[in-house]
Copies of this chain bind each other. A is one copy, B any other.
Amino acid sequence: MARAATTTDAFNAVAEPRRREILDALAGGELAVGDLTELLGLAQPQVSKHLRVLREVGLVEVRDDGRRRLYRVNAAPLRAVHAWVGQYERLWNERFDLIDGVLDELAGTENEIRTDIETDIETGIETGRGD
């Protein structure tokens, strides 16, 4: 089997950076396709396709306005994502408390592992929309 369709759920739809950018842009209010293409620096067909995906998972809604189509965010489907990820909040907090202790235990282990962990910590701290 191939990867699950991007239209399967919010998890998959939002995995694409461009689509996150689109949502971020729409967070400020309704925008037409043309506005988005300009903001994102993407070609119009690509924007329309991303919007289609977002629409199919319910993350955006459309409204006709003359010859334009105004899109707006519907954050509801993100609740599921937030809920799932939220369960791990406890874990990543605990982790920071214990990190020092863990590093000590690893003192004798291979450097590779230590580096990995330290890297993960720093990476995790930085804000969203990687790239």
Residues of chain A touching chain B, judged by Cβ–Cβ distance below 8 Å, are: 3-4, 6, 8-9, 11-12, 14-17, 20, 23-25, 27-30, 39, 58, 61, 63, 72-89, 91-92, 95-96, 113, 115-117, 119-131
Contacts and interface: CB of A to CB of B under 8 A. Distances in A.
11 contacts: A25-B131, A30-B119, A58-B124, A72-B123, A73-B91, A75-B91, A78-B85, A78-B88, A78-B92, A80-B123, A80-B126
Contact of A130 (B11, B75, B96, B126): B11
One complex includes copies of this chain to the number of 2
Contact of A58 (B6, B78, B120, B131): B120
A19 to B, nearest CB: 10
Given A3-B6, A78-B124, A82-B85, 20 more contacts: A3-B3, A3-B16, A4-B17, A9-B130, A27-B87, A27-B129, A29-B127, A29-B130, A63-B119, A74-B92, A75-B88, A76-B92, A76-B96, A76-B123, A80-B124, A80-B127, A80-B130, A81-B128, A82-B82, A84-B128
Q: Which 7 A-B pairs have the closest CB atoms?
A: A76-B124, A84-B128, A75-B92, A58-B120, A75-B88, A75-B91, A15-B15
Given A123-B30, A124-B78, A8 B72 contact: no
